Homo-oligomer: A and B are copies of this chain.
Amino acid sequence: MAREQVFNFAAGPSVLPASALERARAEMLDYHGCGMSVMEMSHRSPMFQEIFDSTKQKLKDALCVPDTHEILFLQGGATLQFASIPMNLLEGGAADYAVTGNFSGKAAKEAKKYGTVRIAADTSETGHDRIPAQQELKLSEDAKYFYYCANNTIYGTEWQYVPQTKAPLVCDMSSDILSKPVDVSRYGLIYAGAQKNMSPAGLTVVILDKALCGREMPYTPEIMSYQTLVKHDSMLNTPPCWCIYMLSLVLDWLKEQGGVEGMEEIKRARAAKLYDVLDNSRLYKAHALPGSRSDMNVTFRTEDNELDAAFVKGAAARGLVNLKGHRITGGMRASLYNAMPMEGVDALIAYMKEFERDHV
CB distance from A184 to the nearest CB of B (A): 24
Which residues in B have their C-beta under 8 angstroms from that of A25? 25, 28-29
Which residues in B have their C-beta under 8 angstroms from that of A237? 77-79, 193
Which residues in B have their C-beta under 8 angstroms from that of A243? 202, 240, 242
Chain B: which residue is nearest A199 at the CB level? Answer: B39
Which residues in B have their C-beta under 8 angstroms from that of A39? 13, 16, 21, 200-201, 246
Interface residues in A, total, Cβ within 8 A = 70
A68 an interface residue at 8 Å Cβ cutoff?
A: no
A8 an interface residue at 8 Å Cβ cutoff?
A: yes
1/0 per residue, CB under 8 A from B, across A149-165: the answer is 00000000000000000
Which residues in B have their C-beta under 8 angstroms from that of A222? 79, 82-83, 110
Chain B: which residue is nearest A75 at the CB level? Answer: B75
Which residues in B have their C-beta under 8 angstroms from that of A13? 39-43, 238, 241
Q: Which of B4, B11, B37, B83 contacts A42 (CB 8 A)?
A: B11
Q: Is B75 in contact with A34, judged by CB distance below 8 angstroms?
A: no
CB distance from A247 to the nearest CB of B (A): 12
Which residues in B have their C-beta under 8 angstroms from that of A75? 75-77, 80, 202, 240
Chain B: which residue is nearest A39 at the CB level? Answer: B200
Knowing A25-B28, A237-B77, say if A35 contacts B322 (CB, 8 Å): no
1/0 per residue, CB under 8 A from B, across A252-277: the answer is 00000000000000000000000000
Interface centre among A28, A41, A237 (most CB of B within 10 A): A237
Knowing A25-B28, A218-B113, A322-B45, say if A240 contacts B202 (CB, 8 Å): yes
A64 an interface residue at 8 Å Cβ cutoff?
A: no
Q: Is B113 in contact with A1, judged by CB distance below 8 angstroms?
A: no
Q: Which of B18, B84, B201 contacts A241 (CB 8 A)?
A: B201
Q: Is A5 in contact with B223, judged by CB distance below 8 angstroms?
A: no
- Interface members, chain A 203-257 (any B CB < 8 Å): 203, 218-219, 221-224, 236-243, 246
Q: Is A35 in contact with B3, judged by CB distance below 8 angstroms?
A: yes
**Beyond A4-B35, A79-B221, A82-B223, 9 extra complex contacts between A and B, CB < 8 Å:** A13-B41, A24-B28, A76-B223, A78-B237, A80-B223, A84-B221, A193-B237, A200-B241, A201-B239
22 cross-chain CB contacts under 8 A: A3-B29, A8-B35, A10-B41, A21-B39, A22-B29, A25-B28, A35-B319, A39-B200, A39-B201, A40-B200, A45-B322, A75-B76, A75-B77, A75-B80, A82-B223, A84-B221, A110-B222, A193-B237, A193-B238, A201-B242, A219-B219, A221-B224
